[in-house]
Amino acid sequence: MAGDTKWLPYLRRNACATFRLFCFAYAGGFASIFRTWEAGLPSEIEICAVQLPGRQTRHAEQLASDLEPLINDLVAGLGPFLDKPYAVFGHSLGALIGYCLVRRLQVEQCLSAGHLFVSACRAPQFVCEHPSTRAMSDLEFTDYVRRLRGTPDAILDDPEAAKLVIPAVRADFALLESYVHQDLGKLACPISAFGGLQDDVVPPEQLDAWKDQTAARFEMRMYPEAHFFLDRRRAQILRAIAADLSEHLGSAKTDER
């Protein structure tokens, strides 16, 4: 398989894999947060952690701040890796990026995902309700990010560390705010949603509204945390992913709770 691996810097080719899971991080996040996921999933699943421009292994590139051109680049960059059945996982902003990618592939290439996993993200019809950050000063934006409790205070309080992190987070929020929802019909694939009961960013009813985006089955799982529960609930999320993909893998369904 040939392809530009700058999008997938941590890809470990797995000869046993019959299925690929493309993973998208939250705003300001890196592909490296998914490096340990493979160990918690069946060997048939190959983890494809997507690295966006301007961070970690792609730090010399310009940060993306417009969603439509980013999706264009993702379709081109990931195209060679779509030669196997695939699913997509994304947390927060990553879920919206994953949804846009899955929809584009379904509409333009008639290539349906096997499953879409969305975590801590409002259904796309509610994305416009996020507060705009474009007019915020750097101080106001940093305070807003601090209130989301997704970036450690030690980083935000360190001017040098903040210089590295805040531009990426700010660009990612611009990506979010550039999204324009269009009703293009339902996805053919099932959708599984993960949420936090203490999440004051994504209300449960707006997470549940993902069910309106699929013509297949929908399931929602909730955990007793706030917006950034991804690390704390990693084991449960991986079990749920394995269970929901079991029909594609030919393996017995496991208890995902």
pTM score, two decimals? 0.91
How far is 175 from 27, CA to CA, in rounded Å? Answer: 9
Whether 119 is a known active-site residue: answer no
Catalytic residue among 32, 43, 65, 92: 92
Using 50, 70 and 90 to split pLDDT, how confident is the model at 257? very low
- The DSSP call for residue 5 is G
Per-residue pLDDT band for 251 (boundaries 50, 70, 90) equals very low
Half-sphere exposure of 212 (CA within 13 A, CB side): 12
The DSSP code sequence of 229-253 is: -TTTTHHHHHHHHHHHTHHHHT-PP
Gyration radius from the chain CA atoms:
17
Of the chain, the percentage scoring pLDDT greater than 90 comes to 68
Domain positions in the chain: 5-124+182-249
Q: For the domain covering 5-124+182-249, report its CATH number.
A: 3.40.50.1820
